[in-house]
Amino acid sequence: MSSRVECEAIIPNYQQHPSNRLRASQILDVLFVPNITMRTNASTQELREKQAVRFHCTGDSNPRIVTWRWERNDTTIPGATTDTFIIPDISHDFHNNKISCIATNRVGSSRVDRRLDVKYGARIVHITEVVGADLDKPTELKCEAIGNPAPIVTWRRKNKGGRVADSGHRSTTVSVQSVYRIDRVSPHSFGWYVCTATVNNFPPASAEAMLLKNDRPNLRSEKDQMATEGKAARLECLAHSIPKPDRITWYRPGGNRINFATSGRFSEETVHMLYGVKSILHIASAQSEDFGYYNCTMTNCYGTVSEKIQLVEKHVLPITFIIIGVIAGVVVMFVAGLACVLYMRCRNEKHAGSVLGSYTDTDSSSDKTVKKRDKLDSPSTLMGQLRQDYNKEMYRFSADYDDMPYKDFTCVPLQEQPQKANNNGYGYIEPYEAYSDHQIYDGDYVHRGDDLVPERLGYDPLYGSGNYSMSSFRANNYDTSTPPPTMTRLTPLHMSNSKLATDV
């Protein structure tokens, strides 16, 4: 900050002289430490857990070159070297902490502090998870919780199904204090309890505690445990015990107590659990004499309990046998797969051959088969010759017929079936009806009547005169108002319709 200072001199009783008044001035530059204030982006002094908080310092300084530093509880915050400090997600750990902003110039330093008030939900910091009690004596369950504002703690009893009953039932809430005291323990007092801490506008926090009866250890271990000779072995002895055992003893097969200080190969490890312990007996290298029954004994102030555990030798196949077995299994699987592939291939080829033999006659057919078919096709009587001649007139073949083997398109979609030039999918065209005033039927001549004369049915005489090719079709001008008469097709001797399609 700068200011002007003036000095004035006056001669008394000599005011007529023009130079009686003398003045002198000087500009003084006053240097001072920064004068700063701190602000936050919060609308109130209270901050809420998980809120993003921004601290900002402003003020005056001479000289104006200032360096900044931020502290938390008088400890410098690394990286905070500007006039702004941001906490992106403030936690409950900042509650009641002191945040300081320090500005420094060449004259000196000044600081401004702020004590934080962070609102956060309840947290259970300690609970007696397992409590042992004696019948007809008092006991306590403790639950310590924190929160801002201070949480409300309630104790409730779990039902037999493992659930906490509806809080609307008064019988389930047993205490509204952080310490639940039972003046006289009864058999119904043992079981699970739930401690719940609640802060308004925050989710509650819960933890469980178990009240058990003080008693001697209850051993629960596997009766038979396996080990391999020459390798490390272990035996586990599990005890549920409140209070926990204060002495654990192991005995070898034969009844000799194991002295872990001098045994060399034996050692013991104790693992503490929620309501008991697990004692593990380690054997560095199991020998043949180590297998047998061991005795595990645990003692607390309520009694002593022992249990026998058998160490059973586990026989392991040599690695050579394992490799041979794996290779043999792979070979068997390969052979089985190959046999299946060959079987399916032979089955498919056999099925294809049976289809071709039923529906086609190719150049590769044997002479015996051809002679047999010729014999069957040759008419032996005049009536047979008549039937054959008649059927030749009844069936006309398309010029596009390529004598392809029959293929069943029953399961093939219509749009994927091959389109032939003829009017069906079997390689031949439908027979035309040779109209006559007599119809041959089973060797007898039957008069058809004048209503079936070809001229009346619109039959074109040019159809049978040779002026049309074999694959041509002529539209008959039938009278659509009257349905056409039923025509009877003469069945060829020793043949079916499908057979004629490939034989003629």
SS3 for 339-395 is HHHHHHHHHHHHHHHHHHHHHCCCCCCCHHHHHHHHHHHCCCCHHHHHHHHHHHHHC
Q: Which residue has the higher pLDDT, 21 or 440?
A: 21
Neighbour-count burial for 392-425, b at 16+ CB within 10 Å, e otherwise: eebbbebeebeeeebeeeeeeeeeeeeebebeee
User: Quick one: pLDDT at residue 262?
Assistant: 85
pLDDT band at 346 (very low <50, low <70, confident <90, very high): confident
DSSP for residue 257: B
Inform me whether the pLDDT recorded for 190 exceeds 60. Answer: yes
43-69 tens-digit pLDDT = 778 899 999 999 999 999 988 899 999
Whole-number pLDDT of residue 17: 60
pLDDT in tens, 281-310: 999 988 889 999 999 999 999 999 999 999
Whether the predicted pLDDT of 128 surpasses 70: yes
Q: What is the pLDDT of residue 278?
A: 94
Q: What is the pLDDT of residue 354?
A: 59
> Which residue has tokens 């002495």?
247
Share in percent of the chain as helix, strand, coil (round to 5): 20, 35, 45
- Asked if 488 contacts 439 with a C-beta cutoff of 8 angstroms, the reply is yes
pLDDT, one tens digit per residue, over 350-400 is: 766 655 555 444 454 445 544 445 555 555 555 566 556 555 554 444 444
The yes-or-no verdict on residue 37 having pLDDT over 50 is: yes
Confidence of residue 315 (pLDDT cuts 50, 70, 90): confident
Q: What is the pLDDT of residues 68-105, one digit of tens each?
A: 999 999 999 999 999 999 999 999 999 999 999 999 99
pLDDT range class, residue 115, cuts 50, 70, 90: very high
pLDDT confidence of 215, banded at 50, 70, 90? very high
pLDDT of residue 11: 64
Strands (E), 91-129: 98-104, 109-115, 117-127
DSSP H/E element including 47: strand 46-48
Give 312's strand partners.
226
Report the C-alpha gap between 208 and 213 in whole angstroms: 17
pLDDT of residue 44: 78
112-126, 231-245, 420-434, range with the lowest pLDDT: 420-434
Q: State both tokens at 390.
A: 């008649």
The model's pTM: 0.52
pLDDT above 60 (res 223): yes
Q: 219 vs 272, 291, 305, 309, CA distance in Å?
A: 14, 21, 7, 11
Region of poorest pLDDT, from 8-12, 281-285, 496-500: 496-500
Q: How far apart are CA 102 and CA 76, in angstroms?
A: 10
More confident residue, 373 or 135: 135
* Beta-ladder partners of 227: 313
Asked whether residue 426 carries a pLDDT value surpassing 70, the answer given is: no
Measured distance CA(492)–CA(504) in Å, rounded:
12
Strand partners, 59: 36
Q: What is the mean pLDDT of the chain?
A: 75
Cα–Cα distance for residue pair 476/457, rounded to 1 Å: 8
